[in-house]
A and B are shown apart, each in its own frame.
Chain A
Amino acid sequence: MKPSEIKKLIIGSLDADSDTVEAARLLEAEGLSFDFRSGFSERVNNKLFSASSTVIRQVEFVRNMNFAFKRIALTGVAAIVLLMISLFLMEGSFSVNSFLGLSNSYDESIVCLLTGN
């Protein structure tokens, strides 16, 4: 088939009332073939397999992260307990002020302002 005939066939295949199946068949007979490289099916399977092994690797990573997190969390809790004990020993109570590191002294200027004395 000449290029001009192929072009005519292409345009004709888009007519609303054209026989699309026949046009597609004719174009295929003229060498219009869209195929993936040989072994496509195997490559899809390989990708699917490697994808599942990636998932397994991801699960392992999350498990390791969990283990690491538990250790970090325990160390953190121990540090907090030590801090509280030292605060209690220094301040003698667990008041908010002792936590915030504020002393019990008043700011006299504010007291004067509020009471007028």
Chain B
Amino acid sequence: MKESYRQTDDSELIKASIEGDKLAFGEIVNRYQKMVARTVKGMLGDSVFAEDIGQEVFIKLYYSLSEFRGEAKLSTYIQKIAINLTLNEIKRRKRFFSLFSHTGDDEMHEYDVPDHDHEEKREASEIVNKALLKLDPKFRIIVAMRMLQGYSTKETADILELPLGTVLSRLSRAQEQLKVILDKL
């Protein structure tokens, strides 16, 4: 077992993780946790629930590593898990809040438990968080992918498994919605 995997490439890390090397898997977590945080927190807001989903992403990854065939990049594979789990969480919350409130999606964000470690946010973070949470989830994911992860339209379409045209039209509608939201902030 190696002491440090910082210089090791993803395929070797995957191989070592499958063989039960916890250090190797720890390196995968370290390497991609920021990317997962951007997706999950961008979609769910900066809450403790977001961290739970983030942990779930890596737990799911750990148990599905043997199924990873290496056809896509590991980052894409992780990104897909993160998006699926986050969208499931949004659906779950929507169902929950539609049962217990009258307004549904808009109201659910008021129940987010703030992450006290990041209470002192800077202006850009506040603006982006507020704006993203007010966006329709199907637009939110596209905005999060482009604005926070820096993915191109094609990369976004590939990861979300959507036609390029759909991504472009959602992007333009998201931009319009975001303009209205940002004007009110």
> Does chain A have a CB within 8 A of B122?
yes
With beta carbons under 8 angstroms apart, the residue of B41, B150, B185 that contacts A34 is B41
The answer to whether B127 touches A43, judged by C-beta atoms less than 8 angstroms apart, is: no
Q: Let me know if B152 is at the binding interface, CB within 8 A.
A: yes
List A1-31 residues whose CB lies under 8 Å from chain B: 1, 3, 6-7, 10-11, 13-16, 20-25, 27, 30-31
Known: A14-B175, A23-B150. A33 touches B30 (CB 8 A): no
**In contact, A10 and B178 (Cβ under 8 angstroms):** yes
Q: Check A44 against B125 for contact (C-beta < 8 Å).
A: no
Q: Are B123 and A41 in contact (CB under 8 A)?
A: no
With the chains together, A51 CA to B147 CA distance in Å? Answer: 35
Q: A13-B147, A36-B51, A41-B29 are in contact. Are A1 and B124 (CB under 8 A)?
A: yes
- Residue of B at shortest CB range from A13? B147
B113 within 8 A of A: no
Q: Chain B residues with Cβ under 8 A from A25's Cβ?
A: 150
Chain B residues, Cβ within 8 Å of A24: 147-150
The answer to whether the Cβ of A45 comes within 8 Å of any Cβ in the partner chain is yes
- Of all chain B residues, the one with the shortest Cβ separation from A42 is B26
Interface contact A35-B122, CB-CB below 8 Å = no
**Is the CB–CB distance between B123 and A37 below 8 Å?**
no
Q: How far is the CB of A13 from chain B (nearest CB, A)?
A: 5
Do residues B151 and A37 form an inter-chain contact, with CB atoms below 8 A? no
Q: Flag if B150 contacts A31 (CB, 8 Å).
A: no
User: A20-B151, A41-B26 known; A47 and B55 CB under 8 Å?
Assistant: yes
* Cβ contact within 8 Å between A13 and B146: yes
- Distance, CA A24 to CA B128, complexed state (A): 12
Kindly identify, within residues 30 to 69 of chain A, every residue whose CB is under 8 Å from any CB belonging to chain B: 30-38, 40-41, 43-45, 47-48, 51
**Contact indicator B127/A7 (Cβ below 8 Å):** yes
Taking a contact as CB atoms under 8 Å apart, the answer to whether B33 and A34 are in contact is no
| B125→A32 contact, CB < 8 A | yes
Of A6, A15, A45, A47, the residue contacting B124 (CB under 8 A) is: A6
| A contacts, CB < 8 Å to B | 1, 3, 6-7, 10-11, 13-16, 20-25, 27, 30-38, 40-41, 43-45, 47-48, 51
Closest 7 A/B residue pairs (Cβ): A31-B122, A24-B150, A30-B124, A21-B150, A34-B41, A14-B175, A32-B124
